[in-house]
Amino acid sequence: MTSNIIETTNLTKTYGDFTAVDSISFSVKKGEIFGFLGPNGAGKTTTIKILTTLLMPTKGSAHINNHDIKKKRDSVRQSIGVVFQEPALDIELTGRENLDYHARMYGIERSIRKERIDEVLALVDLTDKKDVFVKKYSGGMKRRLEIARGLMHSPKVLFLDEPTLGLDAQTRRAIWEYVKKMNKDKHTTIFLTTHYMDEADFLCDRIAIIDHGKILVTDTTSNLKTTVGNDIITVSTSEDIKFKSYLNDVAWIKQIDSHENHLTLGVEKGDEKIPALIELAQQKSIQVKSISVHKPNLDDAFLHYTGRSMRDEISNNNTQQNFHHGR
Amino acid sequence: MIQNEMQAIYVMWLRQMKRFIRFKSRLIAMLVQPLLFLFIFGSGFGGVRFPGLEDISFIHFFAPGIITMAILFSSMFTGISVLWDKQFGFLQEVLVAPISRFSIVIGRTLGGATIALIQGFIILIISVLLGTPISSVSGLILAIIFMILIAISAVGFGLILASKMNDFQSFPLIMNLVIMPLLFLSSAFFPVVENPTLKTIAFLDPLFYMVDGLRGSLVGAANINPPLYNLVIVFCICIVMIALGSYSFNRSEI
C-alpha cells in the first residue's frame, strides 16, 4: 500500500453521549517516532487502546502494518508491542518470568527465547534484577522491564502510553535514551503519547496536538515551533507600564503582552533586538532589570493551537492524577 | 499457530500454578473453612443419624458435601481473580498478545481446576482418614470425574461474575446471597429428601447434582439419583458454564 505503517481514517470512539475520540485521521511513517501531545483526557489512551485492539472503534478505520485493526486483529497484535500507562506486569512473578511468558505467548522459539530475554534485559540494565519479584521493583524498573518486554518479539510498531509518567528526572532521561536507541538500532516505529512538552520535543520526529478528542494539527516538531513565528523576549523594568506605552510605537514589535512583573514581546531575530530595547529604555530613563530571549517552545505552539496553555491544563489535572497514581 | 495457542494455554496454567505454590497462605486460607466444617461439624454431629439413613454415619454423608464446597470456592475464586489482573493491568498484556481469547480462558480454567482439585484431594484424603469409606475403584474414578467437572463449572461461573463486577466489593454479597443458599439446598450438609418442598427446590439447584453425584460415586450410599444420571446433568452444567464464562470474558472490554 504505502510506506505508512499506521493509517487511520475518521477514527471515532463514543461512550453514550461522550465522544472520547472524534473522527481523527493521521498516518505514521515507517521508522519514525510519532507523538500524540495533549492534556489528560484528550483521548490519547483511548486512541492507543483502539490501535492495539483492546477497544473497537465506533466508527472509522485504521490499519497497522497494512492489517485492518477490526478484521485482522491477530496480525495486528503480532505486529505491535505495547507499554501501557499503568504497569501491566504480574508482580508476583520475577522479571525473567514475565519476559519468558511474553516470549511464549508471542511464539518465540525455545532456542532463542533465553538469548532474547538476556538481550533485552541488558538493553534496559535489569540483568542483575531478573530473578527478583516484580513487586520489589521501583516504578522506573517496572517501566524499563515493560519496555524490554515490548521489544522482545521485535514488533514493527511499539506503542508507549505516557512512558515516563510519574518517574524521576534521571529515569526519564534513561528511558528517553532507550527509546531513541531502539528506534535507531532496530528501526522500530514508535508511537507515543505524552503530556510533557520536553518529552515530545526531545523524542518525536512528528507530533499531533490532540485536545477534546480532536487532532488540531500534525507537523514536525521544529515546524510546529516556528509556526508560532517570533522569538519571544521577556523583559522586566522599573516601570513596565510606562515602558509598554513607548514600545507600542515601535514597528518591529509584533505583539506585546504585559504580565505581573514583566512584558513579553513577539519579534523576529530576538538576539539583535536586545541592544535596541536597552537603548530605548535608557533614553526614557527606565531601568532594565532583566531581559532574555527564548525560541518558541511546544508550549507556545500548544497555546497557539488550543488557545490555552498546556501548563494550566496540567496543574488543573494534577490533584486527580496524583491520586490516581498513588495507588 | 496451534503451537502458539498451546503455549498460551500452558503459560496461563503455569502462571496460576506458580502463584499457588509460592503463596502457601492462600492454600491454607482456602483449606481452613472446609476443614473447620469437617472437623467441628463432623465431631459435633458425629453420632447423629438422619431419618432413613440410619446405617450411615454423619461423616460419610458429610464428606462429599465438604469436598464439593472446597472445590467450588477455590475454583470460583480463580474465575473471579481475573478482576485482580484487570486491576493490576496484567490482563491488558494478555489481551494484546496474538493468542485467542478462548486459549486464555482454557488456560485459566485448567489452572484454576488443577488448584481446586489439589485442594479437593487434600480434603478427600483427610475424610478417608476420618473414616469415610470409598465404595469401589470405579466409584473413585467416577468421583474424580465429578470433581473435575465441578471445578471447571465453578471457574466458568467465576468468569461470568468477574465480567459483571468491577471490584471485589460485591464478592461477599454474592457468596452469601447466592452460593451459600445453593450450597445449603444442595444436600451438602443434610439430606433434602424428607421435606417435599426442599426436595423440589433442590432439584432446581445445580449444586445438588454435583453433591449427589459425588456422594453416589464416592460413598455409594445416601444418594437420590443414580451417579451416571447426575453425571450427564453435571456435564451439561459444565458445558453451559464454561461457554457462558468464555463468552462473558470475550465480551468484556478494558
Q: Which of A209, A224, A239 is the last residue of a domain?
A: A224
Residue-level pLDDT at B211 = 93
Burial of B91 from C-beta contacts in 10 A (0-12 / 13-18 / 19+): buried
Which residue from A minimizes the CA distance to B93?
A: A88
Residues A100, A167 within the same domain: yes
Angle at which helix A95-105 crosses helix A110-123, to 10 degrees, equals: 130
| A129-168 residues labelled b (16+ CB within 10 A) or e (exposed) | bbeeebeebeebbbbbbbbbbbbbbebbbbbbbbbbbbbe
Q: Is residue A154 part of a domain?
A: yes
For residue range B14-46, list pLDDT tens digits in order: 999 998 888 888 778 888 888 888 888 888 887
Burial of B228 from C-beta contacts in 10 A (0-12 / 13-18 / 19+): exposed
**C-beta of residue B56 within 8 angstroms of C-beta of residue B103:** no
**Closest Cβ opposite residue A52 in set B4, B91, B96:** B96
Q: Which of A224, A240, A257 is the last residue of a domain?
A: A224
Between CA B218 and CA B227 the distance in angstroms is 10
**C-beta of residue B37 within 8 angstroms of C-beta of residue B135:** no
Between CA A123 and CA A177 the distance in angstroms is 11
B134: phi then psi, degrees, rounded to nearest 5? -105, 130
The answer to whether the Cβ–Cβ distance between B19 and A92 falls below 8 Å is yes
A325 pLDDT higher than 80 = no
Q: Is residue A50 part of a domain?
A: yes
Q: Is residue A316 part of a domain?
A: no
**C-beta of residue A60 within 8 angstroms of C-beta of residue A136:** no
Out of A103-107, A251-255, B134-138, which region has the weakest mean confidence (pLDDT)? Answer: A251-255
**C-beta of residue A97 within 8 angstroms of C-beta of residue A149:** no
Residue-level pLDDT at B235 = 96
Residue-level pLDDT at A327 = 33
Dig out the grid coordinates for A230 from the structure. 517570533
Q: Chain B partners of A139 at a C-beta cutoff of 8 Å?
A: none
For residue range A33-46, list pLDDT tens digits in order: 999 988 888 888 89
Average pLDDT, chain A: 84
Residues A203, A268 within the same domain: no
Which residue from A minimizes the CA distance to B103?
A: A105
A323 pLDDT higher than 60 = no
Query: What is the residue type of A280?
Result: L
Q: Spell out the residues 6+ positions from residue A308 whose beta carbon is closer than 8 angstroms to its own.
A: none
Residues A220, A238 within the same domain: no
The answer to whether the Cβ–Cβ distance between A93 and B88 falls below 8 Å is no
Q: Sign (positive/negative) of CA torsion A201, A205, A211, A212? A: negative
Residue-level pLDDT at A301 = 76
* Residue B136 C-alpha from the chain's centroid: 23
CATH number at residue A239: 3.30.70.260
Give the residue-averaged pLDDT of B174-199.
85
Query: What SS3 string covers A165-178?
Result: CCCCHHHHHHHHHH
Confidence grade of residue A2 (pLDDT, cut at 50, 70, 90): low
A322 pLDDT higher than 50 = no
Closest CA to B211 of B229, B232, B239, B230: B230
A312 pLDDT higher than 60 = no
Q: Chain A partners of B100 at a C-beta cutoff of 8 Å?
A: 74
For residue range A118-153, list pLDDT tens digits in order: 988 988 888 999 999 999 998 888 988 998 898 888
Residues A64, A100 within the same domain: yes
Q: Is residue A318 part of a domain?
A: no
Residues A245, A280 within the same domain: yes
Q: Is residue A308 part of a domain?
A: no
**Closest Cβ opposite residue B93 in set A49, A74, A88:** A88
Q: Smallest CA–CA separation between B33 and chain A, in Å?
A: 25
Give the residue-averaged pLDDT of B177-181.
89
Residues A158, A289 within the same domain: no
Residue-level pLDDT at A253 = 83
Q: Which of A224, A241, A261 is the last residue of a domain?
A: A224
The answer to whether the Cβ–Cβ distance between B254 and A55 falls below 8 Å is yes
Q: Spell out the residues 6+ positions from residue B131 whose beta carbon is closer than 8 angstroms to its own.
A: B57, B59, B60
Closest CA to B63 of B149, B117, B123: B123
Which domain range does residue A53 map to? 4-224
A316 pLDDT higher than 60 = no
Angle at the Cα of B136 from the Cα atoms of B133 and B137, rounded to 5 degrees: 120
Residue-level pLDDT at B254 = 58
Q: Chain B partners of A105 at a C-beta cutoff of 8 Å?
A: 4, 7-8, 11, 94, 97-99
End-to-end Cα separation, chain A, in angstroms: 44
Residues A236, A217 within the same domain: no
Q: Chain A partners of B98 at a C-beta cutoff of 8 Å?
A: 74-75, 77-78, 105-107
Out of A175-179, A239-243, B171-175, which region has the weakest mean confidence (pLDDT)? Answer: B171-175
**C-beta of residue A209 within 8 angstroms of C-beta of residue A37:** yes
Which residue from B minimizes the CA distance to A159?
A: B96
**Closest Cβ opposite residue A54 in set B7, B11, B95:** B95
Q: Is residue A257 part of a domain?
A: yes
Residues A216, A234 within the same domain: no
CATH number at residue A146: 3.40.50.300
Distances (CA, A) of A195 to A176, A199, A207, A320: 15, 8, 12, 15
Closest CA to B30 of B64, B61, B62, B72: B72
H helices of chain B, where?
2-22, 24-36, 42-44, 58-80, 82-87, 90-95, 101-129, 137-164, 171-174, 180-184, 196-203, 206-218, 227-251
Q: Smallest CA–CA separation between A12 and chain B, in Å?
A: 16
Show which residues on chain A lie within 8 Å of chain B, measured between beta carbons.
49, 52-56, 74-75, 77-78, 80, 82, 84, 86-93, 97, 101-102, 104-107, 149
Residue-level pLDDT at B48 = 77
Q: Smallest CA–CA separation between B149 and chain A, in Å?
A: 27
The answer to whether the Cβ–Cβ distance between A107 and B88 falls below 8 Å is no
DSSP state for residue B41 in the 8-state scheme: I
* Residue A153 C-alpha from the chain's centroid: 24
Residues A141, A258 within the same domain: no
For residue range B2-19, list pLDDT tens digits in order: 878 888 899 999 999 998
Give the residue-averaged pLDDT of A55-64.
92
B249 pLDDT higher than 90 = no
Instruction: Give the global pTM.
Output: 0.78
**Closest Cβ opposite residue A77 in set B3, B88, B97:** B97
Dig out the grid coordinates for A226 from the structure. 516556528
Residues A16, A131 within the same domain: yes
**Closest Cβ opposite residue B96 in set A77, A92, A104:** A77
Residue to substitute from A104, A110, A157, A191, interface B, most B β-carbons within 10 A: A104
Residues A73, A107 within the same domain: yes
Out of A44-48, A192-196, A278-282, A296-300, which region has the weakest mean confidence (pLDDT)? Answer: A296-300
**C-beta of residue A45 within 8 angstroms of C-beta of residue A69:** no
* Residue A16 C-alpha from the chain's centroid: 28
Residue to substitute from A53, A72, A101, interface B, most B β-carbons within 10 A: A101
Residues A109, A67 within the same domain: yes
Dig out the grid coordinates for A269 from the structure. 531575530
Between CA A70 and CA A76 the distance in angstroms is 9
**C-beta of residue B218 within 8 angstroms of C-beta of residue B227:** no
Q: Chain B partners of A80 at a C-beta cutoff of 8 Å?
A: 96
Phi-psi domain of B8 (left: phi exceeds 0; alpha: psi -120 through 50; beta: other) = alpha
Give the residue-averaged pLDDT of A12-34.
91
For residue range A226-269, list pLDDT tens digits in order: 766 668 888 888 888 888 888 888 888 877 777 778 888 878 88
ipTM score for this prediction:
0.81
Q: Smallest CA–CA separation between B158 and chain A, in Å?
A: 20
Between CA A195 and CA B49 the distance in angstroms is 72
Total tally of structural domains belonging to chain A = 2
Between CA B140 and CA B149 the distance in angstroms is 14
Which residue from A minimizes the CA distance to B2?
A: A107
B76 pLDDT higher than 70 = yes
